Amino acid sequence: MIVINKKLATLRFSYACHRMPGVRWLGRQIPPLTYYKWAARAARISYYTYPSDWRRARYMRQVLAPTFAPDRVKTIAQKNVVFRQWQKILTHGWPSWADQWNDWAYIDGEQHLRRALAQGNGAVLLSGHSYGFTSLVAPLLSQKGYRLHRTGRGHWGDPAERWGRDWSLEQWEYNSFGQDFWQHVRALNKMHQAVKKNEIIHILVTGFPHGNPQLEIDFYHKKFFLDAAALRILETLNAPVLPCVPICDDSGRLMITIYAPLSPTRAEIMKGFGLMYSRHLKEQPEFANFWRKVAQQRDGW
């Protein structure tokens, strides 16, 4: 599947503009927010013509229809198509646009991150696993000189290849939990070493249809529990936990919001991050990308 997705990516116009020899100059000439206007129009057409978008919209209607009005559900589904396309385009365009990130992104709440790092115990940025532009948090913050470790259960091949830049220019790395016990131990050890060096870890917390009642967040379709394993990791790291929400505005400008640090305890994380995440899922569900799993009540969305 990874190989197929990589092959399909090379057929995209955005990939050609920024990654194909002889054409890359074109990508550098197009300002990102101008590109977004074109991408938004194309995505609205795709909503009506592309079978994969029809299927995603069907799952979204299944989850959202009992709570939101039909017109609102349609608007959310259309915005979701735009969001997903824009995320791919920004990844493809990273080699051309990384050094101009101030033109198409901004960071709100950086003072909270600086204050947390001033304690010398590292910092953990905590985001929803399938909510917003989480893949861009580490690359963007690294442009400001921060050293980051983005964690997850797997990734699409070599990050350097996916992001298309000379890796010596980047100050972040992907730390995969892997698939077996020893890979888990190795990943956790790297995380502990990172906080000892006063570096930043970006953790994505997944959702489940069943779980500990203390980890449930308010949601509009059946039950939504946060991953208990992720919260145990946060407690063992004992570093300040800063909720982080990366979304975009109507012009395509990326907005990374970093909230005030929380104590690394289950109760404080649920009180701070849990309530904030629930609010975003209610007010801006278009940035979620887990609708099929939620509709089918599968684990790990």
Burial grade of 254 (CB within 10 A; 0-12, 13-18, 19 or more): buried
**pTM surpassing 0.85?**
yes
6 pLDDT exceeds 50? no
Of these ranges, 35-44, 144-153, 169-178, 278-287, the one predicted with the greatest mean pLDDT is: 278-287
155 pLDDT exceeds 60? no
pLDDT (0 to 100) of residue 133: 97
CA dist., res. 232 & res. 280, Å (int): 24
User: Mean pLDDT across the stretch 267-277?
Assistant: 98
With a pLDDT cut of 90, the percent of the chain lying above it is 75
7 pLDDT exceeds 50? no
pLDDT (0 to 100) of residue 158: 56
**Which of the four pLDDT bands, split at 50, 70 and 90, describes residue 267?**
very high
User: Mean pLDDT across the stretch 96-117?
Assistant: 96
User: Mean pLDDT across the stretch 239-265?
Assistant: 97
For residue range 171-195, list pLDDT tens digits in order. 899 888 877 888 889 999 999 999 9
For residue range 20-29, list pLDDT tens digits in order. 777 777 778 8
Cβ atoms of 252 and 42 closer than 8 Å: no
pLDDT (0 to 100) of residue 123: 98
**Which of the four pLDDT bands, split at 50, 70 and 90, describes residue 273?**
very high
How does DSSP assign the chain, residue by residue? -HHHHHHHHTTSHHHHHHHSTTTHHHHHHS-HHHHHHHHHHHHHHHHHH-HHHHHHHHHHHHHHTTTS-HHHHHHHHHHHHHHHHHHHHHHHHHHHHGGGGGGTEEEE-HHHHHHHHTTTS-EEEEEETTBSSGGGHHHHHHHTT--EEEEES--SS-HHHHHTS-GGG--EEEEE--SSHHHHHHHHHHHHHHHHTT-EEEEEE-EESS--GGGB---SSS--EE-HHHHHHHHHHT--EEEEEEEE-TT--EEEEEPPPB-SSHHHHIIIIIHHHHHHHHH-GGGB--HHHHHHT-S--
pLDDT (0 to 100) of residue 5: 44
**Which of the four pLDDT bands, split at 50, 70 and 90, describes residue 4?**
very low
Cβ atoms of 124 and 262 closer than 8 Å: no
Q: Where are the domains of the chain?
A: 2-296
User: Mean pLDDT across the stretch 237-261?
Assistant: 97
pLDDT (0 to 100) of residue 229: 93
Specify whether the backbone of 297 is left (phi greater than 0), alpha (psi in -120 to 50) or beta.
left
CA dist., res. 250 & res. 125, Å (int): 25
pLDDT (0 to 100) of residue 9: 45
Q: Which residue has the higher pLDDT, 259 or 177?
A: 259
**Which of the four pLDDT bands, split at 50, 70 and 90, describes residue 289?**
very high
Q: What is the mean pLDDT of the chain?
A: 91
pLDDT (0 to 100) of residue 18: 83
With a pLDDT cut of 70, the percent of the chain lying above it is 93
Going 256 to 96 to 81 to 43, the CA torsion angle's sign is: positive
Q: Which residue has the higher pLDDT, 127 or 183?
A: 127
CA dist., res. 64 & res. 57, Å (int): 10
Lowest mean pLDDT among 5-14, 134-143, 269-278: 5-14
pLDDT (0 to 100) of residue 8: 43
